[in-house]
């Protein structure tokens, strides 16, 4: 069984200089987190029945009409899961993986694939989402890279803010993706196991089952513009990409 309690930090000093923006790759827990949390990271293939049951229970509490097939697919596609517990309570979990991929025009590119993350309402607004994803990324043991493509499927603007802080993010409202962006988007969608990806809108078409997060959002009306083609009744999500610390030439 693969477990990593305290994995080493794998990103360069140049990337750390952008920490003020607090994207997923660079963010961390604040100093005052209230309850004491214990973190663990393990391979998704090694999840035991007890841990799996707790993950499913938190997933069900986090969504209205949760889609268990979506969770199963995510566990099959992404290699690592990070968990945080407080006493006997599962405070949160996040799926994720860092990979080296041959992308169009970018051979051997470091890619951070963020997966589903659920946080118990009692532990939200503490930076736990970012910390869990960061630990899941580090578990792969990928060597430091000068530039990383950060990716994730998002259902609402609150999640997309982990990318929209960067001017390199795509998609943008009322701005068609370039051909290169579409090619990379399609390859990343395939890595997630998306069966139907729209390169014009970056919509990952769902399985037909609705899935609505139970979360309070304080977002501007214009932040929903890029989600115009997302049909949550169908279980759609939006594929988001951004570069850290900056984009390659021509992006």
Domain boundary assignment for the chain: 13-244
pLDDT in tens, 196-239: 999 999 999 999 988 877 877 788 999 999 999 999 899 999 99
Torsion of CA 53, 55, 61, 66, to 10 degrees: -90
Exposed (0-12), middle (13-18) or buried (19+): which is 214, by Cβ within 10 Å?
exposed
For residues 243 and 10, give the distance between their C-alpha atoms in angstroms, rounded to a whole number.
Answer: 16
Residues sharing a CB contact under 8 Å with residue 117, sequence separation 6 or more, in sequence order: 92, 93, 94, 95, 129, 132, 133
Q: CB atoms < 10 A from the CB of 69, how many?
A: 11
- Antiparallel, parallel or unpaired: β 203-204 and 80-86: unpaired
The pTM score is 0.85
Closest C-alpha among 10, 2, 100 to residue 44: 2
pLDDT band at 35 (very low <50, low <70, confident <90, very high): low
Cis previous bond, 245, omega within 30: yes
Q: What is the pLDDT of residue 8?
A: 29
pLDDT in tens, 71-118: 999 999 999 999 999 998 999 999 999 999 999 999 999 999 999 999
What are the residues facing 39 on neighbouring strands?
A: 84
pLDDT band at 65 (very low <50, low <70, confident <90, very high): confident
Please give the CATH architecture assigned to the domain spanning 13-244.
3-Layer(aba) Sandwich (3.40)
């Amino acid at each position: 069984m693969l477990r990593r309690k305290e994995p080493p930090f794998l990103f360069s000093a140049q990337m750390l200089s952008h920490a003020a923006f607090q994207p997923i790759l660079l963010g961390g827990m604040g100093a005052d987190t209230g309850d004491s949390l214990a973190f663990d990271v393990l391979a998704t293939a090694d999840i035991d029945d007890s841990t799996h049951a707790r993950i499913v229970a938190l997933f069900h509490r986090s969504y209205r009409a949760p889609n268990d097939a979506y969770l199963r697919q995510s566990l099959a596609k992404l290699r690592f899961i990070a968990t945080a517990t407080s006493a006997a309570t599962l405070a949160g979990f996040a799926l994720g993986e860092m990979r080296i991929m041959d992308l169009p025009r970018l051979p051997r590119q470091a890619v951070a694939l963020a997966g589903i993350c659920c946080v118990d309402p009692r532990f939200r607004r503490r930076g736990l989402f970012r910390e869990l994803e960061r630990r899941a990324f580090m578990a792969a043991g990928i060597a430091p890279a000068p530039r990383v493509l950060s990716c994730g499927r998002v259902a609402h603007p609150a999640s997309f803010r982990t990318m929209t802080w960067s001017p390199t993010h795509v998609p943008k409202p009322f701005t068609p993706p370039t051909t290169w962006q579409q090619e990379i988007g399609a390859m990343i969608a395939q890595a997630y196991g998306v069966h139907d990806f729209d390169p014009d809108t970056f919509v990952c078409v769902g399985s037909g089952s609705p899935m609505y997060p139970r979360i309070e959002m304080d977002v501007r009306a214009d932040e929903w513009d890029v989600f115009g083609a997302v049909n949550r009744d169908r279980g759609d999500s939006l594929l988001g990409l951004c570069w850290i610390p900056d984009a390659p030439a021509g992006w």
